[in-house]
Structure 1
Amino acid sequence: MTPDLAADALAALDGLVGDGDRGDGAAAAERRRTAAADGPLIEIDDLSLSYGDLSVLADVSLSVERGEFVGLVGPNGAGKTTLLGAINGVLEPESGRVRVGGERVADLSSRAASRLVATVPQDTTVAFDFSVADIVEMGRTPYHGRFSGDPDAEAAVDRALERTETARFRDRAVASLSGGERQRVVLARALAQETPALVLDEPTASLDVNHQVRTLELVADLVDAEGKAALAAIHDLDLAARFCDRLAVLADGDLLAVGPPAEVLTAETVGAAFDTDAAVLSNPVTGTPAVTPLSDPGELDLRVHVLGTGGAAARVVSTLVTAGATVTVGALPDGDAAAETARDLAADVVTAPPFGGLDAETEAAAREHLRTADAVVAVDPLPDSLRALARDQGPVVRVGPDDDGGATTGLAGDAATDDGGHDRSVNRSRAERDGPTVDAAARATPETVALGVRRALDRPASADD
């Protein structure tokens, strides 16, 4: 029997002796094959859904193409789980429609819908203490007729166990597994279902960092290699940005933005969705957006200029912005980490071509920022050109390497010299330094940096100190 005739026969049998849901015969199967050849695999049009008087989704429209992995992100209670439930047919919308593979989910029997879309739920609790292999084989239920088995079940189960790295658990009782291991078994069950579409509700919630990455890599690989469409609610914005082709930001039952991660994950969108200030920077390893929620801005109502380069200066910039300061930076080479951070945080940056030195215009712009600053933060090691800019400026907060090769902040206004006029450099041991110090590059808080700037204002010191 050809695959098409087999599909028709199975669909006809499903319609005659199905699971008690709406009939789904050979004609419907043919319509699905034809419609699925064109257009997105998952289509959501003007979907609205409420629980009693509580509106959860309002006129939501979204599509997922073949070979596309879309991340659904948003705060708790935004409606992410409800949207996924409407896609797999568990929840019936009040208005709008959901199509999977060209077919309206509302018109399909549960068996037919389960051949099109597989679900990885957020709750991985299993009511009965079956073996792992038995749990995964449950994914093959849509392919079992009332009077026939599934000849492809064993191979499908084996593939799913191998892909999710759970084959070594196959004979263990599922109740004996950890939450993270059980999460991977539930993913294996969905993979054994071998559907063209996947919906996943927080698939990495119970996993350690290693398996979070492996799980999302697996989904991305399946999408690329097999042309599946995947829609996943993902809590971790950085992971979503790293592995998803597009992100859909859902908040208060409405889609705020849909598009590539670099376009969607902006400080404005994250702030609107999650009601928090955030710094959105480029991850230096992956090149994808990295979101850092910020605490409420502090009260450092001062203008501070940062002199320095690299990661240490970038962290100082972020710390000062969080403390509430108006920050300027430079001069810096184009592409420097501190420059990129400052731009992302809306700080004013003076840049110069790498290795080109400071021309007159660039130096004048930097000196103007220094002139109008209430305080200067100098992050060691300073290039000679920046040290020359800082000379005779004050007050100055020095950030320099400590004895262990880390980075500390010496508050130059407090610790530049002792009562006898002897130098107490920030490079001396911590015990020999007078006044507070903090590890600015690694552990500084907005409060400690703000304290340093305020004390430097009280006791100015020059950059030469």
Structure 2
Amino acid sequence: MTDPQADRRGDSVPILSAEDISVSLGGTEILSDVSLTAERGSVVGLVGPNGAGKTTTLRTLRATLSPDSGTVRVAGDPIEGLSSKQVSRRVASTPQATTLSFEFTVRQTVEMGRTPHLGRFERADGDDEDAVAAAMERADVARFADRPVTSLSGGERQRVLLARALAQETPVLVLDEPTSSLDINHAVNTLELVAGLAREGKTAVAAIHDLNLAARYCDELVLLADGEVRAAGEPRAVLQSPTLKGAFDAETLVTDQPGADAPLVTALPDREPVDRTVHVVGTGRQAAAAVARLTAAGATASVGVVPAGDAAAERARELDCEAVTVPPFAAVDDGSRQRATDLARAADAVVLAGDVGDANQPVVAAADRVVAVDGADAPALGSRTTVATVDALPEAVAGLPVSPPETDRRVESREQQDR
């Protein structure tokens, strides 16, 4: 038995590629010089806003649409030189729409995937029946085998169409929004299935609407916008806030997905940037959320003193913010406390979030203006404290008066003492 991964590594010819594909429909340019490569045993995700050209790209990859210029190759051969049956033996696809108007049963619908393997008058044999049964089982539709496909929900029909593509037993799958009609459980299971097929040596190119699912399950992403490739590569290289801003015209915060080695994209509402310096005091998820929300809003944030490895310290690391840390379970040393105190004194505001802790009281005391996140385990600070939710932190900080320079504060302090 051959090792699909070894075969993938040893084959220098991509199983599927597009080079400088351009397509115009109705006098409108839909794709302009789009290029992509899908290696054997990989999952390539097409992402981008609505109307970016993802479906048109997939149609050219499966040869249902001929490009005006450029070349699509499958296993090294130009796809335009292959017959329809030859293409269907190499590339299987699922459409975005799940409308099926005929009263076929689920089994009959999946059996259609065997058509490319049968001669004109040839009947299905035991191998075909086994392929159909295996495909229905893997797509979790075997229990619907004898039901009319029109009686199923949109999500169930989508899985039937995936089973039909699996029954085709091709080296390449081209999937147009394979999770769009599925609940989160079936969406995850579908992409787990696709990833498993890739580990077995198949190749999948899929248009995926959900950026976070795409980041988690795709080996590479191709970001399309206005019919052009804006970025391509590993998910972390593609899903970056400036790139997403250019493609989607949306503000985003990119961090890490919990429990997965993949970026997490969070869309943010349009707001005026908060041009303030903020020091966050506290630990845990609430402090991490405060750092993320403030950074996303345009503030310059720091955090500390926190234990190394704490959620707030990790979020600061992800966002390239300064974090004053000490080893886990260690006491706060004088140097770390002094650095955090200096950051708090220089900041326009100090935000208290999560568990502040007694060791950080000197840091809090150095603040002129304090915003406490609702629910934070923080000391009562009287009139100089504003309370806000994490989501409202940017507005709360922006509404504070700008701190005077350090020299002015010292003058104010002496004047108050003189009075």
TM-score after normalising by structure 1: 0.78
Per the TM alignment, residue 411 of structure 1 is displaced from its structure 2 partner at its CA by 8.9
> CA 1:252/1:310 → structure 2, altered by over 3 Å: closer, same or farther?
same
Please identify, of 169-178 and 149-158, the stretch whose mean Cα deviation from structure 2 is larger: 149-158
What amino acid does structure 2 have at the position aligned with 1:369? L
Task: Quote the Cα distance in structure 2 between the aligned partners of 1:281 and 1:169.
Answer: 40
RMSD: 2.7
- Give the equivalent residue in structure 2 for 1:127: 101
Task: Quote the Cα distance in structure 1 between the aligned partners of 2:382 and 2:95.
Answer: 57
Matches within 5 A, 1:237-276: 237-276=211-250
Select the residue among 370, 391, 397 that pairs with 1:445: 391
Task: Kindly provide the CA deviation profile for residues 365-402 of structure 1, in whole angstroms up to 9, marking residues without a partner as x.
Answer: 3222211212211124223332232125332223364x
What amino acid does structure 1 have at the position aligned with 2:198? V
- Give the equivalent residue in structure 1 for 2:408: none
> CA 1:323/1:153 → structure 2, altered by over 3 Å: closer, same or farther?
same
- Give the equivalent residue in structure 1 for 2:4: none
Contact 2:253 2:296 in 1 (8 A): no
Task: Quote the Cα distance in structure 2 between the aligned partners of 1:57 and 1:199.
Answer: 18
Task: Quote the Cα distance in structure 1 between the aligned partners of 2:80 and 2:279.
Answer: 60
Please identify, of 116-125 and 239-248, the stretch whose mean Cα deviation from structure 2 is larger: 239-248
Matches within 5 A, 1:346-425: 346-399=320-373, 401=375, 412-413=381-382
Task: Kindly provide the CA deviation profile for residues 148-191 of structure 1, in whole angstroms up to 9, marking residues without a partner as x.
Answer: 12323211110111001101111111111001001100100100
Select the residue among 143, 147, 154 that pairs with 1:179: 154
Task: Quote the Cα distance in structure 2 between the aligned partners of 1:409 and 1:334.
Answer: 21
Aligned to 2:356, what secondary structure does the other structure show? Answer: coil
- Give the equivalent residue in structure 1 for 2:6: none
Matches within 5 A, 1:186-201: 186-201=161-176
Per the TM alignment, residue 361 of structure 1 is displaced from its structure 2 partner at its CA by 4.6
Contact 1:411 1:437 in 2 (8 A): no
Task: Kindly provide the CA deviation profile for residues 116-174 of structure 1, in whole angstroms up to 9, marking residues without a partner as x.
Answer: 00001101111312111111111111122112123232111101110011011111111
> Is residue 2:140 matched to residue 1:165?
yes
Aligned to 2:174, what secondary structure does the other structure show? Answer: strand
Task: Quote the Cα distance in structure 2 between the aligned partners of 1:411 and 1:79.
Answer: 55
Task: Quote the Cα distance in structure 2 between the aligned partners of 1:202 and 1:177.
Answer: 18
Contact 2:105 2:145 in 1 (8 A): yes
Structure 1 segments (4+ residues) deviating >6 Å: 408-411, 455-458
Per the TM alignment, residue 244 of structure 1 is displaced from its structure 2 partner at its CA by 1.2
Aligned to 2:216, what secondary structure does the other structure show? Answer: helix
> CA 1:297/1:360 → structure 2, altered by over 3 Å: closer, same or farther?
farther
Structure 1 unaligned spans of 5+:
1-35, 402-406, 417-435, 459-465
> Is residue 2:53 matched to residue 1:83?
no
Task: Quote the Cα distance in structure 1 between the aligned partners of 2:378 and 2:119.
Answer: 71
- Give the equivalent residue in structure 2 for 1:69: 43
> CA 1:356/1:96 → structure 2, altered by over 3 Å: closer, same or farther?
same
What amino acid does structure 2 have at the position aligned with 1:231? V
Per the TM alignment, residue 292 of structure 1 is displaced from its structure 2 partner at its CA by 0.3
Aligned to 2:63, what secondary structure does the other structure show? Answer: coil
Select the residue among 136, 149, 166 that pairs with 2:123: 149
What amino acid does structure 2 have at the position aligned with 1:131? T
Task: Quote the Cα distance in structure 1 between the aligned partners of 2:149 and 2:106.
Answer: 5
What amino acid does structure 1 have at the position aligned with 2:133? D
Contact 2:356 2:378 in 1 (8 A): no
Per the TM alignment, residue 200 of structure 1 is displaced from its structure 2 partner at its CA by 0.4
Aligned to 1:273, what secondary structure does the other structure show? Answer: helix
Task: Quote the Cα distance in structure 1 between the aligned partners of 2:114 and 2:229.
Answer: 34
Contact 1:396 1:456 in 2 (8 A): no
Structure 2 unaligned spans of 5+:
1-9, 404-419
Aligned to 2:170, what secondary structure does the other structure show? Answer: coil
Task: Kindly provide the CA deviation profile for residues 418-439 of structure 1, in whole angstroms up to 9, marking residues without a partner as x.
Answer: xxxxxxxxxxxxxxxxxx865x
Larger radius of gyration: 1
Aligned to 2:147, what secondary structure does the other structure show? Answer: coil
Task: Kindly provide the CA deviation profile for residues 56-100 of structure 1, in whole angstroms up to 9, marking residues without a partner as x.
Answer: 222222111111111111111111111110010011011110011
Task: Quote the Cα distance in structure 1 between the aligned partners of 2:184 and 2:289.
Answer: 24
Per the TM alignment, residue 357 of structure 1 is displaced from its structure 2 partner at its CA by 4.3
Please identify, of 352-361 and 232-241, the stretch whose mean Cα deviation from structure 2 is larger: 352-361
- Give the equivalent residue in structure 2 for 1:308: 282
What amino acid does structure 1 have at the position aligned with 2:153? S
Aligned to 1:341, what secondary structure does the other structure show? Answer: helix
Please identify, of 350-359 and 311-320, the stretch whose mean Cα deviation from structure 2 is larger: 350-359
> CA 1:71/1:272 → structure 2, altered by over 3 Å: closer, same or farther?
same
> CA 1:249/1:221 → structure 2, altered by over 3 Å: closer, same or farther?
same
> CA 1:351/1:271 → structure 2, altered by over 3 Å: closer, same or farther?
farther
- Give the equivalent residue in structure 2 for 1:212: 187
Contact 2:353 2:377 in 1 (8 A): no
- Give the equivalent residue in structure 1 for 2:417: none
What amino acid does structure 1 have at the position aligned with 2:183? D
Per the TM alignment, residue 103 of structure 1 is displaced from its structure 2 partner at its CA by 1.8
- Give the equivalent residue in structure 2 for 1:424: none
Per the TM alignment, residue 450 of structure 1 is displaced from its structure 2 partner at its CA by 2.6
> Is residue 2:236 matched to residue 1:290?
no
Q: How many correspondences in the alignment? A: 393
What amino acid does structure 2 have at the position aligned with 1:206? S
TM-score after normalising by structure 2: 0.86
> CA 1:328/1:182 → structure 2, altered by over 3 Å: closer, same or farther?
same
- Give the equivalent residue in structure 1 for 2:409: none
Contact 1:395 1:413 in 2 (8 A): no
> CA 1:354/1:267 → structure 2, altered by over 3 Å: closer, same or farther?
farther
Task: Quote the Cα distance in structure 1 between the aligned partners of 2:378 and 2:268.
Answer: 21
- Give the equivalent residue in structure 1 for 2:197: 222
Aligned to 2:133, what secondary structure does the other structure show? Answer: helix
> CA 1:174/1:355 → structure 2, altered by over 3 Å: closer, same or farther?
same
